[in-house]
Structure 1
């Protein structure tokens, strides 16, 4: 046989093994779920293909020729091995195993990955979750990841994207102590006269320009200030300490605002944007371990 066995050849060989084991066309046809006449035609096709008679048929019995016996002795263990291999593949489908490589924004991991870890490890002890947390925008496939959790506006068009949460909104916030010293900006462009805590996307050189919405369009403000960080949590803590104005996702500062530790600013120019999505490459056959992880994360979505 060549490198790959055509499906027609496999069916011919499977039919031959069934007849050789049963020494009966009717019993073999019943096992295969086809008619005896169709089985007889399949065997004739195999004999024509190999150029030798494999079975001796009479009206009462079926027996193997010498060539047929030799072929049967070689095929039977191979077909048994193939059946066992397929059985193992089906078992792997039913009991997922392997490694799932995950890239996630930190905020996404807090909401959708951390809460499932204990239950997932208990349910799927043979799956290893290899998790990388950072806010860098990576090419999922090129970087070798199986799946990513990130905001919707940063997803490649050829990826499958599953919404996990509601839209998000970024707002400017500052401590009461800072505002008492410096006053409150009345428009986003007045931020240029304030001390702002800038944030830089991991892997990028320039700090992120704060985005606002006015008159049906987005616009950027390239703020300035005494501190540049690449961690949103540090930016929030700096604002709480009165260093300057920070730009944060509203949900992350809700409790601080409610407690009076931070004051929201410029809300009239804050507009929602796509929230957290789970994304992965399109694929015809998804690995069972990846499917198990995706289903678990989707179960966290409201």
Structure 2
């Protein structure tokens, strides 16, 4: 009975994570109908429904969320232990999943990973750009990259970047037709380029700070992106003002393609940190990636 339940629980966890029977069946190497029967048999033995099925989607019931939270970490731990056995070979190997914002990934993660991956070709990295502040345990990430004040306290964290200053920029072509803002409230009268946040399904407000004063400005404009680099390109092309990391804009400011505005209001945040779950045993591959990310470029 225990072995049967373990196999069926693993099948359920795969469907729950994929939110799709077809993809889960492909991963498990079984037919979709066989997988559906397996999950239904598990539900019957447990006495409650784990998944809500429609013709287009699969979602977890409250009971299903509790079961997934209970079993998923155990399967992850077993997978990590088995993966660690593979790494007893001559060369470190294994999969490493990382979540980071696109700016952090481009500025600090990818440049430091390239030498490591050339040295150890059996290490495989999945680098996901995300502004959603994903729960790395629930989403099965090995490493997260976030600003220092965005990391949960039960994580092991290490700084990998200097403090981050955010700036407001606009192109000379845009400013030729619109007077530069003199105070934060003036931003509401400008066409601003927004960033979509997936966690709250809202647009990111612009946080500004001057001494002890801090304001949150909600702006509007023609364009909304979920990529810092698209926002930068749109600002350079004169489509409006953008709120971006200072380091990303400096070259364009020096070249005259962008202009900083409201400079006395630029806020500075604790720089990017890598973090990972303290209770999870890290594999050799993950440990090597962590050490690489701690090195300065």
RMSD value, Cα? 2.1
* Alignment coverage as a number of residue pairs: 214
Answering whether residue 100 of structure 2 is matched by residue 107 of structure 1, we say no
Query: Quick one: which of 175, 182, 194 aligns to 2:190?
Result: 194
Partner of 1:293: 289
TM-score (norm 2): 0.67
- 1:203-243 residue CA offsets vs partner (Å, 9 max, x unmatched): 43221110011341422011122222211111111111111
Task: Using the TM superposition, give the Cα deviation of residue 285 of structure 1 relative to its aligned residue in structure 2, in angstroms.
Answer: 3.9
After TM superposition, which residue ranges in structure 1, 4 or more long, deviate above 4 angstroms?
88-91
Structure 1 stretches lacking a partner, 5+ long: 1-87
Kindly provide the CA deviation profile for residues 132-172 of structure 1, in whole angstroms up to 9, marking residues without a partner as x: 22222100100000101122222111111111111111111
Counterpart-to-counterpart distance in 2, 1:239 and 1:164: 28
* 1:90, distance to aligned residue in structure 2 (A): 11
- Structure 2 gap ranges (5+): 1-83
TM-score (structure 1 length as normaliser): 0.66
Following superposition, the deviation at residue 89 of structure 1 comes to 5.4
1:73-115 Cα offsets, whole Å, 9 max, x none, are: xxxxxxxxxxxxxxx9597297432211111221122123322
**Preserved CA contact (<8 Å) 1:92 1:288:** no
Deviation for aligned residue 1:129: 1.4
Contact 1:161 1:278 in 2 (8 A): yes
Q: Who is 1:177 aligned against?
A: 173
Distance 1:284 1:153, change over 3 A: closer
Q: Is residue 113–residue 289 contact of structure 2 (8 Å, CA) maintained in 1?
A: no
> Residues 98 and 141 of structure 2 are in contact (CA less than 8 Å); yes or no, is this contact kept in structure 1?
yes
Q: Highest CA radius of gyration, 1 or 2?
A: 1
Aligned to 2:248: 252
Alpha-carbon contact 2:113-2:293 (below 8 Å) kept: no
Q: Which residue of 2 aligns with 1:145?
A: 141
